[in-house]
Structure 1
Amino acid sequence: MTQSPFSPGVAAGRLDDAAYSENFSELHPALDPHEALVAADRCYFCHDAPCITACPTDIDIPLFIRQIATGTPDAAAKTILSQNIMGGMCARVCPTETLCEEACVREMAEGKPVKIGQLQRYATDHLQQQGIHPFSRATVTGKTVAVVGAGPAGLSCAHRLAILGHDVTVHDARPKPGGLNEYGIAAYKTPEGFAQAEVDWLLQIGGITLEHGKALGADVTLDQLQSDFDAVFLGMGLGGVNALDVEGGDKAGVSDAVDFIADVRQSSDLGALPVGRDVVVIGGGMTAVDAAVQSKLLGALNVTLAYRRGRDRMNASVFEQDLAASKGVRIMTNVVPKAVHGNGAVREIEFEYVTDDMAGTGETVRIPADQVLRAIGQTLESNGLPDLEMGKIAVTGSGRTSVDGVWAGGDCALGGDDLTVTAVAEGRDAAMDIHASLMG
């Protein structure tokens, strides 16, 4: 077993190869054709379907399910992708249990919704696995648009602009495109390189150029982009992570959950990734759950997810909370970190119990820990941005910022709910507004 240099007790190779393969196998296996037909047959094809209203990208869900039921999954895929060009990824990572499926009439009547997410994946996979791209570019307009960020918002915006005939250059700080989809989602949700395969498929539209290693503020400025392009869309997400501002918060073994998830996502050998015996994840969102579950799957003996409020206030869905519990993650609520203890490296973390209104009770507890992962919110990192509000870019309408000719969407912009599907919708809508502005 290889000892990690950054904290005693944190090591790689806790499991054998077979265990890693099983633990990180796909969370939701794909439907086969017969299963898809059976699932589609449960849809009532509602005329005024509540599931459409619940979908941030307004996909015509009854229509695409009817198309599956009639044996035309590629037509179903086009129905989906015309509204959500990243429908394949969203089918895998969307919290459908709190969006379309929660609104499903079958859910309300029987407590068992139509499998909308899995049917969406069935249709989009059927099309994309054939290498088919169902859209083509309009006549080239001669207009150019800069997109900052190759994540869901940026790629959605770029694709729609390319369809409309504009030439788009996407600037991204990372070495690979995809943003959150590539670097920030649990590996068991999108295994086998799906994120990159979807980007490659998306780029078949043409008219989109990717430039990597281009971070806004460090490598390229907003003024420069405004000078070189006819319009600019900002979709770079949130690059910073809030610090753990407690005594000992900078000890070895305390790190960012987003970096941990990225390491897991990019690893070609899970057995080489170090993980502690006693891991504590601080936070209550999807990032916290993804980090906690993957710690357990890498072989951590004890994993605790600690959140400052009650479970009903966690940003992670009930499904995600239950998934964590089913993998052996202990969930502590109404606790806030007070100190990290250890001689140079973390050995324990101390929490104080708080009331629902965040008032301290004076009662504390210490938990053994050799690895602490922060998942306590991200911050916007860049200089020279348009006006900010509540730490994000202020926007109106379809993503218009305070600077003429500059739009924004996704996690870096104010509004929305920090979901992949919402970012896709915001990128798409901004593209339509950019097009209208450019064409007068």
Structure 2
Amino acid sequence: MPNSQYTPGIVSGRLSENEYAENFSDLHAPLDGHEATVAADRCYFCHDAPCMTACPTSIDIPLFIRQIATGTPEAAAKTIFDQNILGGMCARVCPTETLCEEVCVREVAEGKPVEIGRLQRYATDTLMEKGVHPYTRAKATGKKVAVVGAGPAGLSAAHRLAMKGHDVDLFDARAKAGGLNEFGIAAYKSVDGFAAREVDWLMEIGGITLHADKALGKDLELARLQDDYDAVFLGIGLGGVNALRAPGENNDGVIDAVDFIADLRQTDTLSALPVGRNVVVIGGGMTAVDAAVQSKLLGADNVTMVYRRGKEAMSASLYEQELATAKGVRIIYNAQPRVVLGEGAASGVEFEYTKSENGALQGTGEVFTIAADQVFKAIGQTLIGAPEGLKIAGGKIEVSETGATSLNGVWAGGDCATGGDDLTVTGVAEGRDAAEDIHSFLMGGA
């Protein structure tokens, strides 16, 4: 956290406890039974459902909505979990507005899609609250698999492998499992410790042993894991944060947004978290939006997001951009940082407007300054600590369609691997598919 002697504007406890509780309450209230039935009745149950095609985990969306409509939400949840074992969290954080709901026939025809995400949450919460895990393990195979990284990809792979009868040792560099779901999601999207409860529920399959505080390259060596296990899955995420490459970046008050969000997610007392009066967030992705919105909710007076390209190029969805502005965040497009101002502590950021010519981003020479006592860097993450021998492409571990790496017996998935978008739901799909390929490999397949 910033040194308060240099940054007097960064303080904690700006709001009342009631204001903190209201600001960080559930972003979307869960549906009750009647509301779920009404929402499900809007579905056309399309035969060639575009929503199912748009879902990275290929959940049979028309089927689970029909099951809700007929009063069997537990069956609907099983339909979801068969494809996406982290369907509860994905229902909360998945950008459905750019996936299943965007292509919903109701959206195309009326501009109002079936509320697929909220219906998925209703179904999965209903089953999870029953306290009974819906899956049982197959007969033990005698095979052991190491899964490194207990984020969405690793958890998905571990559950599917355990269900197949393999024994899984699940390693994570942090003290708690969950990865992005536990440490990187805005607090108002996942309340009441849901991420941790979902991990506990997933582990009820049995056959998975969690080893916390075990980092690859520090406590674990890939070559040793290859010797000790029949297969290895890497879901190690992206541990490094890109630099601004601007003078003043090391000033006090300049913070990695991912660290800020992790601190917020792990605190028991929101009033203990310091926030600036004038906050600038540099970046255009989900992390940038989450940092900006939560700064405002913690009591910052002015919060500005600045993105170097145009609105349409922003990786955060239009819905998320509108959420930010609705919470009082100002977004400036087509500007890049030149220097973080201040002597020892940030006092502002000087930006230069940008333009795109022939696909290349260029500065226009026109500059402006925004006052800032706190600056969050949210300009992407990089892979660090990739073991030798793994082929790297585009800064990530190169994998096949089923997650196989260049090393025999080693698979990878999630943010650390080449593949789809860096989303929770994509990581789940990649972990699941890699687990199926690992199972085939272990049982004598190609």
**Shorter-chain TM-score: which interval?**
over 0.9
Q: Once the 2 structures are TM-superposed, how far is the Cα of residue 4 of structure 1 from its aligned partner?
A: 3.4
Amino acid at match of 1:11: V
Dislocated runs of 4+, deviation >2 Å: 2-8
Shift of 1:236: 1.0
Amino acid at match of 2:251: K
Q: 1:132 to 1:5 in 2, by over 3 A?
A: farther
SS of the residue aligned with 1:100? coil
Cα distance in 2 for residues equivalent to 1:3 and 1:234: 37
Indicate which of 356, 361, 364 corresponds to 2:367. 364
Deviations 1:331-383 (A, max 9, x none): 00100000011111000100000103421110000110000000001011114
Counterparts of 1:424 and 1:276, CA distance in 2:
36
Q: 1: distance between equivalents of 2:217 and 2:415?
A: 18
Partners of 1:301 and 1:270 lie apart in 2 by 17
Q: Can you list the C-alpha shifts for 1:207-245, whole angstroms capped at 9, x where unaligned?
A: 000001110001101001101100000001011101121
CA RMSD of aligned residues (A): 1.0
**Residue 120 in 1 paired to residue 120 in 2?**
yes
For the Cα contact (< 8 Å) 1:172–1:213, is it kept in 2? Answer: yes
Distance 1:256 1:391 in 2: 20
Aligned to 2:441: 437
> What is the CA-CA distance between 1:5 and the residue it aligns to?
4.9
2:38 alignment counterpart: 38
What's the TM-score, normalizing by structure 1? 0.99
Structure 1 gaps, min length 5: none
Q: 1 CA distance for matches of 2:386 and 2:261? A: 26
Contact 2:278/2:303 (<8 A) preserved: yes
Are the aligned partners of 2:6 and 2:344 in contact in 1 as well (CA < 8 Å)?
no
Residues 1:312 and 2:315 are matched in the alignment: no
Specify the alignment match of 1:418 in structure 2: 422
Following the alignment from structure 2 to structure 1, what is the Cα–Cα distance between the partners of residues 326 and 6? 29
Quickly say closer, same or farther: Cα 1:36–1:228, change in 2 above 3 A.
same
Choose the corresponding residue for 1:398, options 393, 396, 402: 402
Counterparts of residues 191-202 of structure 1 (less than 5 Å): 191-202=191-202
Q: Post-superposition shift, 1:397?
A: 2.3
Give the aligned partner of residue 279 of structure 1: 279
Cα distance between partner residues in 1 of 2:404 and 2:442: 13
Q: CA deviation at 1:279?
A: 0.3
Q: Aligned residue for 2:89?
A: 89
Q: Which amino acid aligns with 2:280?
A: V
Structure 1 position 3, deviation (Å):
8.6
Matched residue, 2:376: 373
Deviations, residues 59-84 of structure 1 (Å, cap 9, x unaligned): 00000000000100000000000000
Distance 1:400 1:364, change over 3 A: same
- Percentage identity across paired residues of the two chains: 69
What is the match of residue 144 of structure 2? 144
Q: Which amino acid aligns with 1:417?
A: D
The unaligned stretches of length 5 or more in structure 2 are none
Give the AA of the match of 2:417.
A
**For residues 252 and 168 of structure 1, do their structure 2 counterparts lie closer, same or farther at Cα, with a shift above 3 Å needed?**
same
Q: Is the 8 A contact 1:279 1:371 kept in 2?
A: yes
Which residue identity is paired with 2:442? L
Which residue does the alignment assign to 1:70? 70
1:158-307 aligned within 5 A: 158-307=158-307
The residue aligned with 2:325 is 325
Q: 1:253 deviation in Å?
A: 0.4
Note if contact 1:4-1:12 (Cα within 8 Å) is conserved in structure 2. Answer: no
Q: Verify the 8 A CA contact 1:289 1:316 in the aligned structure 2.
A: yes
Name the aligned partner's letter for residue 111 of structure 1.
G
Task: Give 1:388's aligned residue.
Answer: 392
Query: 1 CA distance for matches of 2:401 and 2:348?
Result: 48
| Equivalenced residues, count | 439
- 2:399–2:417 contact (8 Å) kept in structure 1: yes
CA 1:97/1:211 → structure 2, altered by over 3 Å: closer, same or farther?
same
d(CA) in 1 for partners of 2:378 and 2:278? 17
Distance 1:122 1:20, change over 3 A: same
User: TM-score w.r.t. structure 2 length?
Assistant: 0.97
- 3-state secondary structure, aligned to 1:12: coil
Distance 2:228 2:312 in 1: 48
- How far, CA to CA, are the matches of 2:52 and 2:245 in structure 1? 42
